[in-house]
Chain A
């Protein structure tokens, strides 16, 4: 199935996160790979958005809206690391 980069989820994720999560480094809970979230494979031909690890394919994040409630499933990442200097630069 075709996919995009994690970058493409940035807009929808601003609904939830105050800072840009796509430039944060996340660790895959399955294979342990540490990569920027933007480098994940993003599947959009499904209800909501699904991000998978670019190396092992494990589901990192699911975001879906059911009626008026947004569900966020982050079980596939053990942690996220944010670079605060870059966040300041990007916010202009």
Chain B
């Protein structure tokens, strides 16, 4: 079940996050929101597995992209963000997961809420919507520490400045751009009211990020009248790390 993937491209998204393009010979295709497990094995046989969301839209070219944030004490992310090179091979399991996914035949309004690197699977949904020519009404509320920590900034700007656009609202939690109208701070009820679909439209919501963000944003959505059954969540660990999920 482990597949061999070859690194065919890399680019930095921020000072600490890198997108890696992988060619997977027998890749069966994926849907937006799914993830892969990456396994690294040391010469002594010790292996570590981490889950990474797929960032790219489904395509037929047997390539996928993952975006990896470097964690100070990580076992896998420092290798993927600093050491791996084009031509290297990785072991990969996936595509994985059938619940936190957006299918291009979904027509209802979609509310995306990202915290930090939680943007990655939601970006796959935004890209999938574009590549499928879907007219589903998308909004993204993106909570991020500071402007320099935003992933996919130019692509999000392009997507939100055209017809049939994805409306993007940023919530800066530590540092804002100059002259930003809202002081730095976490998502609150006022931002939910102005930056997300009203519950009367019955959107499906996808919330991804650190546990604290996911809990907080889900509670605010429910308080704003959203049906708990229509909120799908994907938590990272407390440190923002995609946790060890291997037995």
**Contact residues in A for B30 (Cβ distance below 8 Å):** 92
Beta-carbon contact of B237 and A4 below 8 Å: yes
Inter-chain CA distance A6–B1, complex, in Å, is 20
**Contact residues in A for B103 (Cβ distance below 8 Å):** 89
**Contact residues in B for A15 (Cβ distance below 8 Å):** 1
Choose one: A2, A63, A90; the contact of B31 (CB below 8 Å).
A90
Interface residues on A, range: 20 to 34
Choose one: B37, B93, B94, B99; the contact of A7 (CB below 8 Å).
B99
**Contact residues in B for A60 (Cβ distance below 8 Å):** none
Contact with B along A8-37 (1 / 0, CB 8 A): 111110110000101100000000000011
Q: How far is the CB of A9 from chain B (nearest CB, A)?
A: 6
Q: Which residue of B lies closest to A23 (CB)?
A: B98
Q: A2-B238, A7-B234, A11-B37 are in contact. Are A65 and B245 (CB under 8 A)?
A: no
Interface check A87, CB cutoff 8 A: yes
Interface check B202, CB cutoff 8 A: no
Q: A11-B93, A90-B101 are in contact. Are A2 and B247 (CB under 8 A)?
A: no
Choose one: A4, A20, A22, A64; the contact of B235 (CB below 8 Å).
A4
**Contact residues in A for B245 (Cβ distance below 8 Å):** 4, 8-9, 11-12, 42, 44, 49
Q: A20-B97, A86-B98 are in contact. Are A12 and B28 (CB under 8 A)?
A: no
Choose one: B232, B243, B247; the contact of A70 (CB below 8 Å).
B247
Interface check B230, CB cutoff 8 A: no
Interface check B162, CB cutoff 8 A: no
Beta-carbon contact of B247 and A64 below 8 Å: yes
Beta-carbon contact of A22 and B211 below 8 Å: no
Interface check A38, CB cutoff 8 A: yes
Choose one: A3, A4, A11; the contact of B96 (CB below 8 Å).
A11
* Chain B interface mostly: loop
Inter-chain CA distance A77–B17, complex, in Å, is 39
Beta-carbon contact of A38 and B243 below 8 Å: no
Inter-chain CA distance A38–B211, complex, in Å, is 15
Inter-chain CA distance A63–B247, complex, in Å, is 7
**Contact residues in A for B236 (Cβ distance below 8 Å):** 4
Inter-chain CA distance A92–B27, complex, in Å, is 10
Beta-carbon contact of B100 and A48 below 8 Å: no
Beyond the given pairs A7-B35, A38-B100, 18 more chain A to chain B contacts, judged by CB atoms under 8 angstroms and listed by A's residue number, are A2-B238, A4-B243, A9-B245, A10-B35, A10-B97, A10-B98, A11-B51, A12-B247, A14-B1, A14-B93, A14-B96, A20-B96, A23-B97, A38-B99, A39-B99, A44-B243, A63-B247, A90-B95
Binding site for A on B (CB under 8 A): 1, 28-31, 34-37, 49, 51, 93-101, 103, 211, 232-238, 243-247
22 contacts between A and B (CB under 8 A): A2-B237, A4-B236, A4-B243, A5-B234, A5-B235, A8-B51, A12-B245, A14-B93, A15-B1, A20-B97, A22-B97, A36-B99, A38-B99, A48-B247, A49-B247, A63-B247, A87-B98, A89-B103, A90-B95, A90-B101, A92-B30, A92-B95
